[in-house]
Amino acid sequence: MTPKKYLSNKKISQQAISISPALKDWIKRHVTVMHEKYPHDERYKSISAFYCFVMENALNIFEKGKTLDDFNKVVDSEIDELYDKFGFKAIVPFHELVFKMNRYTEIDIFSMLNFILTMRKYYTQGLDPHNLEAFKLSLDRMKTAWFSDKILKEALIEFYSKKDSKYPSVIFEYSAEKGYKNLHFENCKFNAAGFGLLGAKLTDFIYSDEDIYARYDLNLTELFFKKELALKERTKLINHNLRFLINYERIVNDKNYYLWIKLAEDNDVIINFINNKTRERWAEAIEKDLKEFGTNEMFLLNLLKYFEQLHWIRIENEADLTFQIRISKEENKEDYDFMVNYLSKYANITQENGRFYLEDLIT
Protein backbone atom coordinates (compact mmCIF):
# COMPACT_ATOMS: atom_id res chain seq x y z
CA MET A 1 0.00 0.00 0.00
CA THR A 2 1.34 3.41 -0.93
CA PRO A 3 2.25 5.34 2.24
CA LYS A 4 0.50 8.62 3.01
CA LYS A 5 2.58 11.72 2.42
CA TYR A 6 2.42 13.88 5.50
CA LEU A 7 1.86 17.21 3.79
CA SER A 8 -0.40 20.05 4.86
CA ASN A 9 -4.08 19.16 5.30
CA LYS A 10 -5.12 22.68 4.44
CA LYS A 11 -7.51 22.55 1.49
CA ILE A 12 -5.81 24.90 -0.98
CA SER A 13 -4.89 22.53 -3.84
CA GLN A 14 -7.25 21.74 -6.69
CA GLN A 15 -7.76 18.43 -8.50
CA ALA A 16 -9.66 18.41 -11.77
CA ILE A 17 -11.53 15.19 -12.54
CA SER A 18 -13.95 14.23 -15.29
CA ILE A 19 -17.28 12.64 -14.31
CA SER A 20 -20.53 12.04 -16.14
CA PRO A 21 -23.33 14.63 -15.92
CA ALA A 22 -25.52 11.99 -14.27
CA LEU A 23 -22.98 11.32 -11.52
CA LYS A 24 -22.38 15.04 -11.03
CA ASP A 25 -26.13 15.61 -10.63
CA TRP A 26 -26.43 12.64 -8.25
CA ILE A 27 -23.65 13.98 -6.02
CA LYS A 28 -25.19 17.46 -6.04
CA ARG A 29 -28.62 16.11 -5.07
CA HIS A 30 -27.14 13.90 -2.35
CA VAL A 31 -25.18 16.75 -0.77
CA THR A 32 -28.22 19.05 -0.96
CA VAL A 33 -30.49 16.52 0.73
CA MET A 34 -27.97 15.66 3.45
CA HIS A 35 -27.20 19.33 4.10
CA GLU A 36 -30.91 20.01 4.62
CA LYS A 37 -31.12 17.10 7.05
CA TYR A 38 -27.87 17.91 8.87
CA PRO A 39 -27.18 21.63 8.32
CA HIS A 40 -24.33 21.73 10.86
CA ASP A 41 -22.46 18.74 9.47
CA GLU A 42 -19.19 20.01 7.93
CA ARG A 43 -19.11 17.08 5.51
CA TYR A 44 -22.13 18.43 3.63
CA LYS A 45 -21.45 22.17 3.73
CA SER A 46 -20.26 22.03 0.10
CA ILE A 47 -19.59 19.57 -2.71
CA SER A 48 -15.83 19.99 -2.29
CA ALA A 49 -16.10 19.23 1.44
CA PHE A 50 -18.03 16.07 0.57
CA TYR A 51 -15.42 15.05 -2.02
CA CYS A 52 -12.60 15.51 0.49
CA PHE A 53 -14.34 13.49 3.17
CA VAL A 54 -15.19 10.62 0.81
CA MET A 55 -11.71 10.39 -0.73
CA GLU A 56 -9.87 10.61 2.57
CA ASN A 57 -12.02 7.94 4.22
CA ALA A 58 -11.85 5.72 1.15
CA LEU A 59 -8.05 5.78 1.37
CA ASN A 60 -8.23 5.00 5.10
CA ILE A 61 -10.36 1.96 4.28
CA PHE A 62 -7.87 0.80 1.64
CA GLU A 63 -5.06 1.15 4.19
CA LYS A 64 -6.91 -1.46 6.28
CA GLY A 65 -6.79 -3.98 3.45
CA LYS A 66 -10.24 -3.38 1.98
CA THR A 67 -10.86 -3.07 -1.77
CA LEU A 68 -13.32 -1.31 -4.07
CA ASP A 69 -15.46 -4.46 -4.11
CA ASP A 70 -16.10 -4.06 -0.38
CA PHE A 71 -18.06 -0.82 -0.91
CA ASN A 72 -21.09 -2.73 -2.15
CA LYS A 73 -21.12 -4.75 1.07
CA VAL A 74 -21.18 -1.82 3.47
CA VAL A 75 -24.33 -1.35 5.56
CA ASP A 76 -24.38 2.05 7.27
CA SER A 77 -24.66 2.30 11.05
CA GLU A 78 -28.27 3.52 11.17
CA ILE A 79 -29.50 0.62 9.00
CA ASP A 80 -27.33 -1.78 10.96
CA GLU A 81 -28.96 -0.53 14.16
CA LEU A 82 -32.44 -1.06 12.70
CA TYR A 83 -31.54 -4.63 11.78
CA ASP A 84 -30.01 -5.30 15.19
CA LYS A 85 -33.12 -3.99 16.92
CA PHE A 86 -35.71 -5.95 14.97
CA GLY A 87 -33.80 -8.62 13.08
CA PHE A 88 -32.14 -11.88 14.01
CA LYS A 89 -29.66 -14.33 12.57
CA ALA A 90 -31.57 -17.06 10.80
CA ILE A 91 -30.97 -20.24 8.81
CA VAL A 92 -32.64 -19.15 5.58
CA PRO A 93 -33.56 -22.62 4.17
CA PHE A 94 -35.30 -23.48 7.46
CA HIS A 95 -37.34 -20.27 7.43
CA GLU A 96 -38.15 -20.86 3.78
CA LEU A 97 -40.08 -23.95 4.92
CA VAL A 98 -41.79 -22.04 7.75
CA PHE A 99 -42.96 -19.27 5.42
CA LYS A 100 -44.36 -21.87 3.04
CA MET A 101 -47.27 -22.52 5.39
CA ASN A 102 -47.76 -18.79 6.14
CA ARG A 103 -47.99 -17.79 2.49
CA TYR A 104 -51.56 -16.43 2.63
CA THR A 105 -51.68 -15.58 6.33
CA GLU A 106 -52.68 -11.98 7.06
CA ILE A 107 -50.19 -9.71 8.75
CA ASP A 108 -51.12 -8.69 12.29
CA ILE A 109 -50.32 -4.98 12.03
CA PHE A 110 -50.95 -4.12 15.67
CA SER A 111 -48.64 -6.81 17.03
CA MET A 112 -45.84 -5.21 15.00
CA LEU A 113 -46.70 -1.61 15.75
CA ASN A 114 -43.35 -0.72 17.31
CA PHE A 115 -41.43 -2.05 14.31
CA ILE A 116 -43.78 -0.40 11.81
CA LEU A 117 -43.63 3.02 13.46
CA THR A 118 -39.84 2.85 13.65
CA MET A 119 -39.59 2.04 9.96
CA ARG A 120 -42.03 4.81 9.06
CA LYS A 121 -39.93 7.29 11.02
CA TYR A 122 -36.82 6.15 9.19
CA TYR A 123 -38.35 6.45 5.71
CA THR A 124 -40.12 9.77 6.27
CA GLN A 125 -37.44 11.76 8.08
CA GLY A 126 -36.87 14.99 6.15
CA LEU A 127 -39.62 14.12 3.67
CA ASP A 128 -40.60 17.01 1.40
CA PRO A 129 -43.75 16.69 -0.78
CA HIS A 130 -41.98 18.60 -3.54
CA ASN A 131 -38.67 16.76 -3.30
CA LEU A 132 -38.63 12.98 -2.92
CA GLU A 133 -34.88 12.64 -3.10
CA ALA A 134 -34.62 12.10 0.66
CA PHE A 135 -37.09 9.21 0.42
CA LYS A 136 -35.20 7.69 -2.52
CA LEU A 137 -31.99 8.03 -0.55
CA SER A 138 -33.56 6.13 2.38
CA LEU A 139 -34.57 3.34 0.03
CA ASP A 140 -31.11 3.18 -1.51
CA ARG A 141 -29.54 2.91 1.94
CA MET A 142 -31.95 0.13 2.90
CA LYS A 143 -31.18 -1.72 -0.36
CA THR A 144 -27.60 -2.17 0.81
CA ALA A 145 -28.89 -4.12 3.82
CA TRP A 146 -31.23 -6.15 1.59
CA PHE A 147 -28.38 -7.18 -0.67
CA SER A 148 -26.14 -8.01 2.29
CA ASP A 149 -28.55 -10.85 3.18
CA LYS A 150 -27.66 -12.47 -0.18
CA ILE A 151 -31.36 -13.05 -0.87
CA LEU A 152 -32.24 -10.01 -2.98
CA LYS A 153 -30.89 -9.98 -6.52
CA GLU A 154 -32.14 -6.71 -8.02
CA ALA A 155 -34.23 -3.75 -6.86
CA LEU A 156 -35.43 -0.61 -8.61
CA ILE A 157 -37.75 2.25 -7.68
CA GLU A 158 -38.95 5.03 -9.98
CA PHE A 159 -41.16 8.06 -9.40
CA TYR A 160 -43.16 9.60 -12.22
CA SER A 161 -45.97 12.14 -12.60
CA LYS A 162 -49.44 11.65 -14.05
CA LYS A 163 -51.39 14.48 -15.64
CA ASP A 164 -54.61 13.49 -13.89
CA SER A 165 -53.02 13.02 -10.45
CA LYS A 166 -52.06 15.53 -7.80
CA TYR A 167 -49.32 13.31 -6.38
CA PRO A 168 -46.55 11.26 -8.03
CA SER A 169 -46.83 7.57 -8.82
CA VAL A 170 -44.28 4.87 -8.11
CA ILE A 171 -43.00 1.72 -9.74
CA PHE A 172 -41.13 -0.60 -7.40
CA GLU A 173 -39.76 -3.89 -8.66
CA TYR A 174 -37.32 -6.42 -7.30
CA SER A 175 -36.27 -10.03 -7.63
CA ALA A 176 -34.76 -12.58 -5.28
CA GLU A 177 -32.36 -15.45 -5.65
CA LYS A 178 -33.75 -18.78 -6.79
CA GLY A 179 -34.82 -21.15 -4.05
CA TYR A 180 -36.34 -18.52 -1.76
CA LYS A 181 -39.79 -18.06 -3.26
CA ASN A 182 -41.70 -18.35 0.04
CA LEU A 183 -39.41 -15.93 1.83
CA HIS A 184 -39.67 -13.62 -1.17
CA PHE A 185 -43.48 -13.75 -1.08
CA GLU A 186 -43.44 -13.01 2.66
CA ASN A 187 -41.24 -9.98 1.95
CA CYS A 188 -43.70 -8.96 -0.77
CA LYS A 189 -46.48 -8.93 1.84
CA PHE A 190 -44.44 -6.77 4.20
CA ASN A 191 -43.53 -4.39 1.39
CA ALA A 192 -47.20 -4.02 0.43
CA ALA A 193 -48.05 -3.32 4.07
CA GLY A 194 -45.10 -0.96 4.39
CA PHE A 195 -46.16 1.09 1.38
CA GLY A 196 -49.68 1.28 2.81
CA LEU A 197 -48.33 2.53 6.11
CA LEU A 198 -46.36 5.22 4.31
CA GLY A 199 -49.44 6.27 2.34
CA ALA A 200 -48.90 4.64 -1.05
CA LYS A 201 -51.90 2.90 -2.65
CA LEU A 202 -51.26 -0.23 -4.69
CA THR A 203 -52.99 -0.17 -8.10
CA ASP A 204 -51.41 -3.23 -9.69
CA PHE A 205 -49.18 -6.08 -8.60
CA ILE A 206 -47.27 -8.41 -10.89
CA TYR A 207 -45.71 -11.50 -9.38
CA SER A 208 -43.82 -14.46 -10.82
CA ASP A 209 -43.09 -17.52 -8.72
CA GLU A 210 -40.89 -18.90 -11.47
CA ASP A 211 -38.68 -15.80 -11.76
CA ILE A 212 -38.97 -14.82 -8.06
CA TYR A 213 -39.97 -11.36 -9.27
CA ALA A 214 -42.44 -8.73 -8.03
CA ARG A 215 -43.54 -5.36 -9.33
CA TYR A 216 -45.70 -2.82 -7.48
CA ASP A 217 -47.55 0.00 -9.23
CA LEU A 218 -48.51 2.60 -6.63
CA ASN A 219 -50.09 6.02 -6.34
CA LEU A 220 -48.93 8.29 -3.54
CA THR A 221 -51.87 9.62 -1.54
CA GLU A 222 -52.30 12.58 0.80
CA LEU A 223 -51.36 10.24 3.67
CA PHE A 224 -47.85 9.96 2.25
CA PHE A 225 -47.21 13.63 3.02
CA LYS A 226 -49.09 13.80 6.33
CA LYS A 227 -47.03 14.07 9.50
CA GLU A 228 -49.93 12.78 11.61
CA LEU A 229 -50.01 9.02 12.18
CA ALA A 230 -53.68 8.62 11.12
CA LEU A 231 -53.39 4.92 11.94
CA LYS A 232 -57.02 4.09 11.08
CA GLU A 233 -56.66 5.48 7.55
CA ARG A 234 -53.28 3.85 7.05
CA THR A 235 -54.61 0.49 8.26
CA LYS A 236 -57.30 0.65 5.57
CA LEU A 237 -54.62 1.32 2.98
CA ILE A 238 -52.51 -1.55 4.31
CA ASN A 239 -55.46 -3.95 4.01
CA HIS A 240 -56.20 -2.65 0.50
CA ASN A 241 -52.62 -3.30 -0.58
CA LEU A 242 -52.45 -6.76 0.99
CA ARG A 243 -55.55 -7.91 -0.91
CA PHE A 244 -53.49 -7.84 -4.11
CA LEU A 245 -51.37 -10.63 -2.60
CA ILE A 246 -53.75 -12.43 -0.24
CA ASN A 247 -56.94 -13.20 -2.16
CA TYR A 248 -58.86 -16.28 -3.22
CA GLU A 249 -57.91 -15.96 -6.89
CA ARG A 250 -54.32 -16.64 -5.86
CA ILE A 251 -55.27 -19.24 -3.25
CA VAL A 252 -57.41 -21.46 -5.52
CA ASN A 253 -54.61 -21.47 -8.10
CA ASP A 254 -52.03 -22.57 -5.53
CA LYS A 255 -51.63 -25.75 -3.47
CA ASN A 256 -55.00 -26.97 -2.14
CA TYR A 257 -53.90 -26.94 1.51
CA TYR A 258 -53.82 -23.11 1.43
CA LEU A 259 -57.59 -23.07 0.92
CA TRP A 260 -58.02 -25.76 3.57
CA ILE A 261 -56.19 -23.53 6.06
CA LYS A 262 -58.70 -20.75 5.36
CA LEU A 263 -61.64 -23.14 5.62
CA ALA A 264 -60.35 -24.49 8.94
CA GLU A 265 -60.64 -21.00 10.42
CA ASP A 266 -64.39 -20.90 9.68
CA ASN A 267 -66.37 -22.71 12.38
CA ASP A 268 -69.40 -22.92 10.09
CA VAL A 269 -67.50 -25.30 7.81
CA ILE A 270 -67.33 -28.98 8.74
CA ILE A 271 -65.22 -31.81 7.37
CA ASN A 272 -67.01 -34.85 5.96
CA PHE A 273 -65.55 -38.11 4.69
CA ILE A 274 -66.40 -39.69 1.36
CA ASN A 275 -66.72 -43.18 2.86
CA ASN A 276 -66.76 -45.00 6.20
CA LYS A 277 -63.36 -46.60 5.61
CA THR A 278 -61.60 -43.22 5.31
CA ARG A 279 -63.40 -41.87 8.39
CA GLU A 280 -62.35 -44.90 10.44
CA ARG A 281 -58.76 -44.80 9.14
CA TRP A 282 -58.29 -41.21 10.31
CA ALA A 283 -59.90 -41.82 13.72
CA GLU A 284 -57.73 -44.89 14.30
CA ALA A 285 -54.54 -43.02 13.31
CA ILE A 286 -55.39 -40.20 15.74
CA GLU A 287 -56.28 -42.66 18.51
CA LYS A 288 -53.04 -44.63 18.02
CA ASP A 289 -50.83 -41.53 18.50
CA LEU A 290 -52.89 -40.25 21.43
CA LYS A 291 -52.27 -43.52 23.23
CA GLU A 292 -48.58 -43.76 22.24
CA PHE A 293 -47.51 -40.18 22.90
CA GLY A 294 -50.16 -38.85 25.27
CA THR A 295 -51.31 -39.75 28.80
CA ASN A 296 -54.37 -41.60 30.05
CA GLU A 297 -55.52 -38.45 31.84
CA MET A 298 -55.52 -36.45 28.60
CA PHE A 299 -56.78 -39.13 26.24
CA LEU A 300 -60.50 -38.29 26.30
CA LEU A 301 -59.89 -34.55 26.07
CA ASN A 302 -57.54 -35.02 23.12
CA LEU A 303 -60.09 -37.23 21.43
CA LEU A 304 -62.66 -34.47 21.85
CA LYS A 305 -60.15 -31.98 20.40
CA TYR A 306 -59.88 -34.10 17.26
CA PHE A 307 -63.63 -33.95 16.70
CA GLU A 308 -63.62 -30.25 17.54
CA GLN A 309 -61.06 -29.61 14.81
CA LEU A 310 -63.38 -31.35 12.37
CA HIS A 311 -65.90 -28.74 13.60
CA TRP A 312 -68.28 -31.52 14.66
CA ILE A 313 -68.38 -30.36 18.31
CA ARG A 314 -67.47 -27.35 20.44
CA ILE A 315 -65.75 -28.04 23.77
CA GLU A 316 -67.23 -25.88 26.54
CA ASN A 317 -65.21 -27.01 29.53
CA GLU A 318 -62.02 -29.04 29.19
CA ALA A 319 -61.87 -29.93 32.87
CA ASP A 320 -65.41 -31.34 32.92
CA LEU A 321 -65.23 -32.75 29.38
CA THR A 322 -68.35 -30.80 28.50
CA PHE A 323 -69.21 -30.17 24.85
CA GLN A 324 -71.96 -29.36 22.39
CA ILE A 325 -72.51 -31.31 19.19
CA ARG A 326 -72.57 -28.92 16.22
CA ILE A 327 -73.39 -31.30 13.37
CA SER A 328 -77.02 -32.12 12.72
CA LYS A 329 -78.15 -35.63 13.58
CA GLU A 330 -80.63 -35.53 10.71
CA GLU A 331 -78.34 -34.06 8.01
CA ASN A 332 -75.09 -35.74 9.10
CA LYS A 333 -76.45 -38.97 10.58
CA GLU A 334 -73.48 -41.20 9.65
CA ASP A 335 -70.90 -38.79 11.08
CA TYR A 336 -73.04 -38.16 14.16
CA ASP A 337 -73.51 -41.86 14.90
CA PHE A 338 -69.85 -42.64 14.20
CA MET A 339 -68.63 -40.01 16.68
CA VAL A 340 -71.04 -41.02 19.44
CA ASN A 341 -70.19 -44.70 19.03
CA TYR A 342 -66.47 -43.96 18.94
CA LEU A 343 -66.57 -41.89 22.14
CA SER A 344 -68.78 -44.50 23.79
CA LYS A 345 -65.95 -47.05 23.55
CA TYR A 346 -64.05 -45.07 26.20
CA ALA A 347 -66.67 -43.15 28.20
CA ASN A 348 -70.30 -42.88 29.10
CA ILE A 349 -72.00 -40.00 27.33
CA THR A 350 -74.71 -38.15 29.19
CA GLN A 351 -76.79 -35.22 28.04
CA GLU A 352 -78.28 -32.35 30.03
CA ASN A 353 -79.82 -29.13 28.66
CA GLY A 354 -78.26 -29.58 25.24
CA ARG A 355 -74.79 -30.23 26.67
CA PHE A 356 -72.96 -33.54 26.57
CA TYR A 357 -70.62 -34.94 29.23
CA LEU A 358 -68.04 -37.69 29.16
CA GLU A 359 -67.62 -39.71 32.34
CA ASP A 360 -66.49 -43.09 33.69
CA LEU A 361 -63.37 -43.64 31.57
CA ILE A 362 -63.24 -47.20 30.27
CA THR A 363 -59.66 -48.47 29.74
What are the residues whose beta carbons fall under 8 Å from the beta carbon of 78, sequence distance 6 or more? 122, 141
77 has a pLDDT exceeding 80:
no
- pLDDT of 184 reads 87
- pLDDT of 331 reads 92
- pLDDT of 140 reads 66
Enter the pTM of the model. 0.68
Cross-strand pairs, 349: 358
- Between CA 117 and CA 115 the distance in angstroms is 6
- Between CA 108 and CA 105 the distance in angstroms is 9
* Percentage of residues of the chain with pLDDT beyond 70: 75
- Strands 322-325, 213-220: pairing is unpaired
Crossing angle, helix 133-148 and helix 21-37, to 10 degrees?
100
Tell me the average pLDDT across 61-68. 66
146 has a pLDDT exceeding 90:
no
- Strands 152-160, 213-220: pairing is unpaired
CA angle in degrees (0–180, nearest 5) for 278-316-332: 35
19 has a pLDDT exceeding 60:
yes
pLDDT in tens, 170-187: 899 988 888 788 888 988
22 has a pLDDT exceeding 80:
no
pLDDT in tens, 193-228: 988 988 999 999 999 988 999 999 999 999 988 878
Q: Which of residues 98 and 46 earns the better pLDDT score?
A: 46
Tell me the average pLDDT across 287-297. 93
160, amino acid identity: Y
Task: Tell me what the pLDDT averaged over the chain comes to.
Answer: 81
- pLDDT of 18 reads 77
pLDDT in tens, 318-327: 999 999 999 9
- pLDDT of 106 reads 86
75 has a pLDDT exceeding 50:
no
283 has a pLDDT exceeding 50:
yes
- pLDDT of 247 reads 95
- pLDDT of 147 reads 53
1 has a pLDDT exceeding 70:
no
- pLDDT of 92 reads 61
* Percentage of residues of the chain with pLDDT beyond 90: 40
What are the residues whose beta carbons fall under 8 Å from the beta carbon of 89, sequence distance 6 or more? none
Q: Which of residues 290 and 107 earns the better pLDDT score?
A: 290
Task: Indicate the burial class of 240 (C-beta count within 10 angstroms; 0-12, 13-18, 19 or more).
Answer: middle
